[in-house]
Amino acid sequence: MQEILKFTKSRRSKRIVLGAHLQDQTLRKLMRKAQFTQFGQKNDFARLLKTRNITTYFNKNVPYYDYNSLYKEWWHKTIEGEENVCWPGKIKYFALTSGTSEAASKRVPVSKELIRQIRKTSIRQMMTIPDFGFGPEFYEKSILGIGGSASLNRIASGFEGDLSGIMQARLPVWIQGTYKPGKKITQIKSWEQKLDALAVEAPKWDVGIVAGVPAWVQLAIERIIDRHNVKNIHEIWPNFNIYVHGGVAFAPYSESFKKLLGHQMQFLDTYLASEGFMAFQSSHNKLGMELVMDNGIYFEFVPFNENNFDADGNIKSNVQVLTLREIEKEVDYAILISTCAGTWRYLIGDTIRFKSLETFELIITGRTKHFLSLCGEHLSVDNMNMAIKKVAAESGLIINEYAVAGKPHEGLFAHHWYIGADRPFDIAGMKQKIDQYLKELNDDYVVERRHALKDIFIHQVPLHDFYGFMKSKGKLGGQHKFPRVLKGKMLEDWDAFIAHKLIVK
């Protein structure tokens, strides 16, 4: 047994060394490409490139940024059309983020190199599909992408829009014949009109793979089923065998998806953001998504704890930043990324947890600003998702959407849960079950429920009100996601929107 453990440890160490080496190479390539940009010159990339341990010197000499600081110092010049700011040449495309943390969308530069990065990683994921054992005919089926509008807005420096729209506008010729729903439908800006057009055309396509954010894919499939009066989507698309999802955790949608299907399928997770394609799940990945270490993105990891982040999820100064060599399993990290679009040491806002250091498989556990710690309960979105999944499974409910907010209560604090289910439920029972499961999942929550976290309240909200709120914010459909944690202006707007509609106990 001792020899087996030594072998396993040695094998794991070799994998970590290889992954770290690939990341070192990636960082050098990025810095070499950008050394003569304004950013590269200010941060002395030419000198840093001569150092042997480049990751250490990069960490010590280059500041890290969130969106506001990077925009204020650098990206505003890129958006105004200035060349060679953070990346060589002129950036012509800007992805509008989904804006779950704040009301306003943000413009993220998308270089031609980043477009290639996303395309190359997408192909890598697709290259693993043969391992599922489908017959040769499956690879002739269509791929349906349900995303934002491909109709881009012209701005002074180029074009802006959803990342999915930017990618669809630049599809390679070889995939255009099989990629659906086609240019005419993808350019429709109205989500409702796009759903109707999808439903009309759906029987004409032989779809094998669907990709998109779970909430909007589910709505699209429901619209198709209703329009054609069938029992499930496989009566329309019998060869639909793979769903590639991302953007939010799939767990809350798993039960409702089952009701839309006629047979079992493969579900693959992706970590594709406006800033790049960072990880994906393949037929080989059982624990999570495998980090992409050699394709235009350099990763650094900040332990997500009180030493490095304040109570609002803002990163502090002089935080502990780790490389791939130093990460551990089952620890929540916020990610800093440097990419082939001039995104340098950028706090992307997601938190992740590695489930394997042999394959670098990870799961997304939440957002740096999408957690609740009013009084030290440290409740993550991952905790919330797991509690909702357990409640739904035990009660037979389908819970498609939910959100949680923390508010003052009787001089201390309370959590307010807003839950959209497929039918009315026992609110008192729901409260008891959620509280119970969170206590099983989170020791800090247990402590604070005895002290400062005095109560939790359950609000039953019709599912259509979640989508109605997104529509009121101009974020209906495409890549937009409903925030799991409501804070600040978003919470104020939500409270105003549903004040007269709540069923409260």
CA geometry: angle 309, 368, 402, nearest 5 deg: 140
List the chain domain ranges.
11-86+282-367, 114-273, 381-504
Q: What is the mean pLDDT of residues 453-478?
A: 85
Residue-level pLDDT at 83: 97
CATH 3.30.300 correct for 381-504 = yes
205-214, 275-284, 369-378, 443-452 — which is least confidently predicted? 369-378
Q: Are 475 and 468 in contact (CB under 8 A)?
A: no
Q: Residue 289 pLDDT more than 60?
A: yes
| Phi, psi (deg, nearest 5) at residue 324 | -60, -25
91-100, 158-167, 230-239, 332-341 — which is least confidently predicted? 91-100
* pTM, to two decimals: 0.81
Residue-level pLDDT at 9: 42
User: Of residues 299 and 176, which shows the higher confidence score?
Assistant: 299
Q: What is the mean pLDDT of residues 424-431?
A: 94
The pLDDT tens digits for 201-255 are 999 999 999 998 888 899 899 999 999 999 999 999 999 999 999 877 787 788 8
Q: Are 214 and 481 in contact (CB under 8 A)?
A: no
Residue with token string 């799991």: 484
89-93, 107-111, 437-441, 450-454 — which is least confidently predicted? 450-454
Q: What is the mean pLDDT of residues 344-372?
A: 91
If you average pLDDT over every residue of the chain, what do you get? 88
CA distances from 428 to 214, 400, 420, 485, 504 (A): 29, 20, 16, 22, 10
Q: Which of 292, 293, 297 is nearest to 343 (CA)?
A: 297
Confidence of residue 64 (pLDDT cuts 50, 70, 90): very high
Residue-level pLDDT at 48: 96
CA distances from 6 to 1, 12, 194, 359, 445 (A): 9, 10, 57, 18, 38
Percent of all residues in the chain with a pLDDT value above 90, rounded to a whole number? 58
User: Of residues 51 and 178, which shows the higher confidence score?
Assistant: 51
Spatial distance between the Cα atoms of 72 and 305, rounded to a whole number of angstroms: 27
The pLDDT tens digits for 1-44 are 344 334 334 444 566 778 889 999 999 999 999 999 999 999 99
> Residue 483's CB: how many other CB atoms inside 10 A?
24
Residue-level pLDDT at 255: 83
| Cis amide prior to 181 (ω within 30 degrees) | yes
DSSP string for 87-150: SSS---EEEEP--SSSSS--EEEE-HHHHHHHHHHHHHHHHTGGGG---GGGGGSEEEEE-S-S
Spatial distance between the Cα atoms of 351 and 331, rounded to a whole number of angstroms: 10
The pLDDT tens digits for 295-333 are 999 999 999 998 999 877 889 999 999 999 999 999 999
Q: Residue 341 pLDDT more than 80?
A: yes
